[in-house]
A = this chain, B = another copy of it.
Amino acid sequence: MDGPRRDVGRGPVHRRRDELMTMEFAHRRPPGSPLPGSPQHFFLGNDEGEFAHLFDSLVTVKLTGDETDGQFGVFTLEAPKGDTIPAHAHADVHEIFYVLNGAAHVWIQDGEGVVHDRVLRPGDFGYVPAGLPHTFRVEADETKIFGVCSGGFERFFAAAGRQAEEPVLPDPPYVPSTEQLMAAGKEFRNQFMPHLRLDQR
């Protein structure tokens, strides 16, 4: 991607979220998931959900597009202090970061190519609308982030990484092959930009 893309970041065209995402990802529901898989009520304890390991993070999915008619999904991400993840952009997916514990440095490139960043601490919030390149770096051990995303995207982490049986951090980290990461990126329309070092601008 050369220079700022002026068509990125102006917000997605209105389209039916449920058409885009829901039907595509129901097959990704892991066996034994405590989530109902359709719009029903349910409760989860702190240590319950669908677990995934990706790099050094534990992702716990609490709610998916299957339960919300494709509207939104909810997950937590826990990680130790670590490196900046590869920059990426998802054309159809809006995403929030809400820090529960620890700290995360977030970088977001807007539609004009300007990079905005902030270190988010407990209670702080960041919003990345669809299409904007972004990245983050966990700055403290025991960081826990609450994420909300357009429905369906919450299953990206298990697709790019691997399903986990228990809510523990991966040890050692699970490093996907380039093939797995690119395939998951293609399936979830998450474009990686490994040479875009937003954290160095």
A contact residues vs B (CB 8 Å cutoff): 9-12, 14, 16-18, 38-49, 62-63, 67-69, 71-72, 74, 94, 96, 98, 100, 106, 108, 110, 116, 118, 120-130, 132, 134, 146, 148, 150-151
Contacts and interface: CB of A to CB of B under 8 A. Distances in A.
In the assembly, how many copies of this chain are there? 2
A63 B127 contact: yes
B127 A42 contact: yes
Given A41-B116, A148-B74, A69 B11 contact: yes
Nearest to A18: B14
A41 B120 CA distance: 14
A125 B75 CA distance: 11
Given A69-B12, A71-B72, A124-B46, A39 B130 contact: yes
